[in-house]
């Protein structure tokens, strides 16, 4: 099948037959028409129609193009060197994709993102920017999300030290009408407030002001971005056989129902960060009620025999790439009979079209799976647990403590008593490597392994974790995931907790090399991320997940290599 957007499906016959049956159902029951009419009976009748404002957001944004042009002109002439966006999840991932894909545009400030509560990372960002020539964007739909709120408190106080009473002129808010953040922005005399649409959930908000305003501030051609999105909108209204977005969604949902419940994403290096946005969209939309499509991002391509029959593959290629090395490997996967979605884009501005296509596809997949793709109950559970822990800290001055099940050379291991007993009985030695071996031996066919790192999201840390992540994949022949906290809590965390009990989780925490106070709060950034890690582990454990926490010292230059060495021993 070939479409204008260059989407091609290479499928085994049994899967193609199942998709053809699903397509026939959508055709005969007028489901595309009902989709665009926001008919909740396509899903679970759980109020889905209230969250579909994203369907016509492109047209609405095009009508407001003059506002974006005026903003671009103002920023171009202003003396800003950096735009720093603070946000989390849906409010930060699309801007991050744009920043990493397009880089800095001539005559415009550099767009940077911070979506971490790790005190070392917050401190590093603060010291890398010059506040007097920085514009800070606080992006929060609800206005009550913890991370953007405390990041705003910190950077606003820092800005007051730098520029005094003019601090508000260095801030822009993007938030829904009537939110707490709207009132904060008015009280602090922010330069602008741009509004979101309450009928659009966070992960579907990329084409609303949460993506378009940062794109404007970064100097991108917003008109061209929206034109590309508009083409995808038109294609998504076509009949089933000519509709790439619906066909993609039918494939995702049908493959899930057939046991292929993991989608592995490969991209050209120029658009590598698109996978992080897709992770949130797919995992948070589908991972619930014991079902879920688990996205696997930034896992290097292996030979076809390394993969089981629980995956489909998506290869998103930029035709102007300087690296074609993945082409042959993807062709081998296809020749071996693995389901492959091949997408080509010839212009980086087609990203907005890709975003809309995948939004449609994910919502269609939710219909095929019989779930509500617009809620995220298990993200809320982790937030509740974190709030309880930070509230306890405000009262007592300490976070609740747990006894480690093992201490080995300063590394502490934590698990529930029941799971600790399982590991102790199976471990060949009462060491870090021994417990890791017992933990990894819990992985069964069709499972996946996820490393969840509540650490600074630095390239050096990611390289080490990527190393042992791939060793697990090669040894166990299962899908593997890597997420940094707290950002994955607002993304893949929904699938990890609400999806099938197929994950074997390793949470990685550490002492903080430094801490950073939060103005107006009794707790620090270090306390917040510790509470988030503890809350995440508690929810995983309450859902019966196979979860082990490894706590390293403050010196990650020693701790992470030691953990990698323990993995080598555990997998030998």
DSSP state letter for 412: E
Q: Cα separations (Å) of 437 from 70, 219, 410, 422, 427?
A: 59, 50, 19, 12, 7
pLDDT tens sequence across 40-68: 999 999 999 999 999 999 999 999 999 99
Band of residue 392 on the pLDDT scale cut at 50, 70, 90: confident
* 463 Cβ contact list (under 8 Å, min separation 6): none
SS3 content of the chain, % helix, strand, coil (to 5): 55, 15, 30
- Give residues with Cβ within 8 angstroms of 240, minimum separation 6: 23, 26, 27, 32, 246, 247, 250
pLDDT of 250 > 80? The answer is yes
Residues in the chain: 572
- pLDDT band at 354; cut points 50, 70, 90: very high
Average pLDDT over residues 392-408: 91
524 secondary structure, DSSP code = B
* DSSP secondary structure letters along 426-482: H-SSSSHHHHHHHHHTT--TT-EEEEEE-S---HHHHHHHHHHHHHHHHHH--EEEE
- Side by side, which strands form the sheet with 192-195? 110-114, 82-86, 134-139, 171-175, 192-195
What number is the average pLDDT over the span 412-438? Answer: 97
The Cα–Cα gap between 393 and 531 comes to 9
- Using alpha carbons only, what angle is made at residue 415 by residues 414 and 418, rounded to the nearest 5 degrees? 145
3-state secondary structure of 500: coil
pTM greater than the 0.75 cutoff: yes
Report the C-alpha gap between 229 and 232 in whole angstroms: 5
In the predicted model, what is the mean pLDDT of residues 341-352? Answer: 97
Spatial separation of the C-alpha atoms in residues 272 and 252, rounded to whole Å: 21
Give the model confidence (pLDDT) of 468-527 as tens digits: 999 999 999 999 999 999 999 999 999 999 999 999 999 999 999 999 999 999 999 999
Core vs surface per residue 313-335: b (16+ CB within 10 A) or e: bbbbbbeeeeeeebeebbeebbe
DSSP alpha helix (H) spans, 135-221: 146-163, 180-187, 209-217
Report pLDDT digits (tens) over 156-209: 999 999 999 999 999 999 999 999 999 999 999 999 999 999 999 999 999 999
DSSP conformation class of 200: B
CA distance 58 to 204: 12
Cα-based distances in Å from 50 to 17, 32, 208, 297: 34, 18, 16, 30
Distance of CA 129 to the CA centre of its chain: 25
Q: How confident is the model over 265-311, as pLDDT tens digits?
A: 999 999 999 999 999 999 999 999 999 999 999 999 999 999 999 99
Indicate the helix (H) or strand (E) that contains 136: strand 134-139
pLDDT of amino acid 283 = 97
Which residues are bridge partners to 175 per DSSP?
195
Radius of gyration of the chain (CA): 23
User: What is the spatial distance between Cα 269 and Cα 287, in angstroms, rounded to a whole number?
Assistant: 27
Show the DSSP H helices in 52-179 as ranges.
57-63, 65-77, 93-102, 119-128, 146-163
pLDDT for position 40: 98
CA distance 144 to 148: 8
Which of these ranges, 2-6, 203-207, 331-335, 533-537, has the smallest mean pLDDT? Answer: 2-6
* Mean pLDDT computed over 431-451: 98
* pLDDT the model gives residue 386: 85
Average pLDDT over residues 232-260: 97
**Domains of the chain, each with CATH number or no CATH:** 7-37+227-369 (3.40.50.10490), 80-204 (3.40.50.10490), 377-571 (3.40.50.10490)
Helical (H) or strand (E) element with 326: helix 325-335
pLDDT tens, residue by residue, 198-232: 999 999 999 999 999 999 999 999 999 999 999 99
Which element (helix H / strand E) includes 480?
strand 479-484
Give the long-range contacts of residues 103-106, CB within 8 A, separation 24 or more. Answer: 104/218, 105/218, 105/219, 105/220, 106/219
Q: Where do we find the tokens 């009976």? A: 41
CA 252 centroid distance within chain: 18
Return the percentage of the chain with pLDDT > 90, whole number: 93
Other beta carbons within 10 Å of 105:
14
Position 1 scores a pLDDT of 35
Distance CA 113, CA 139 (A): 11
* Residue 223, phi then psi, degrees to nearest 5: -60, -40
């Amino acid at each position: 099948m070939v479409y204008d957007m260059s989407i091609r499906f290479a499928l085994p016959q049994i899967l193609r037959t199942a998709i053809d049956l699903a397509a026939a159902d959508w055709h005969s029951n007028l489901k595309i028409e009902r989709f665009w009419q926001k008919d909740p009976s396509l899903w679970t009748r759980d109020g889905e129609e209230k969250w579909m404002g994203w369907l016509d957001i492109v047209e609405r944004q095009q009508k407001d193009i003059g506002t974006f042009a005026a903003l671009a002109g103002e920023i171009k002439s202003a003396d800003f060197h950096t735009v720093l966006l603070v946000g989390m999840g849906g409010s930060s991932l699309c801007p991050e994709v744009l920043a990493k894909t397009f880089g800095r545009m001539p005559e415009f400030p550099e767009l940077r993102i911070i979506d971490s509560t790790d005190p070392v990372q917050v401190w590093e960002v603060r010291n890398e920017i010059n506040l007097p020539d920085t514009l800070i964007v606080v992006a929060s739909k609800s206005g009550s999300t913890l991370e953007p709120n405390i990041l705003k408190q910190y950077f606003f106080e820092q800005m007051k030290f730098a520029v005094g009473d003019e601090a508000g002129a260095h801030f822009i808010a993007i938030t829904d009408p009537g939110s707490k953040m709207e009132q904060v922005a008015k009280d602090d005399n922010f330069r602008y407030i741009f509004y979101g649409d309450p009928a659009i959930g966070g992960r579907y908000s990329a084409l609303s002001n949460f993506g378009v305003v940062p794109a404007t501030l970064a100097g991108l051609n917003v008109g061209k971005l929206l034109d590309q999105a508009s083409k995808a909108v038109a294609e998504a209204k076509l009949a089933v056989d000519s509709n790439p977005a619906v066909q993609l969604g039918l494939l995702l949902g049908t493959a899930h129902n057939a046991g292929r419940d993991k989608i592995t994403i490969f991209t050209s290096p120029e658009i590598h960060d698109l996978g992080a946005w897709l992770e949130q969209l797919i995992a948070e939309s589908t991972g619930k009620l014991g079902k879920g499509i688990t996205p696997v991002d930034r896992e290097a391509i292996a030979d076809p025999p390394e993969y089981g029959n629980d995956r489909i593959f998506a290869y998103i290629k930029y035709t102007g790439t300087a690296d074609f090395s993945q082409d042959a490997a993807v062709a081998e996967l296809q020749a071996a009979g693995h389901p492959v979605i091949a997408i080509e884009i010839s212009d980086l501005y087609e990203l907005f079209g890709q975003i809309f296509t995948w939004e449609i596809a994910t919502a269609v997949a939710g219909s095929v799976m019989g779930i509500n793709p617009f809620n995220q109950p298990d993200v809320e559970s982790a937030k509740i647990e974190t709030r309880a822990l930070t509230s306890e800290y405000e009262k007592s001055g300490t976070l609740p403590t747990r006894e480690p099940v093992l201490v080995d050379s300063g590394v502490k291991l934590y698990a529930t008593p029941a799971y600790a007993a399982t590991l102790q009985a199976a471990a060949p030695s009462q060491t870090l490597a021994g417990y890791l071996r017992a933990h990894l031996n819990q992985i069964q066919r069709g499972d996946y392994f996820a490393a969840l790192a509540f650490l600074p999201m630095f390239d050096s840390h990611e390289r080490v974790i990527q190393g042992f992540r791939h060793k697990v994949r090669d040894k166990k022949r299962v899908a593997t995931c890597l997420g940094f906290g707290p950002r994955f809590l607002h993304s893949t965390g929904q699938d990890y907790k609400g999806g099938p009990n197929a994950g074997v989780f390793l949470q990685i925490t550490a002492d903080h090399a430094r801490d950073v106070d939060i103005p107006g709060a009794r707790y620090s950034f270090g306390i917040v991320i510790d509470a988030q890690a503890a809350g995440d582990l508690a929810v995983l454990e309450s859902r019966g997940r196979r979860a082990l926490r490894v706590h390293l010292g403050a010196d990650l230059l020693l701790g992470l290599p030691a953990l990698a060495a323990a993995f080598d021993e555990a997998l030998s």
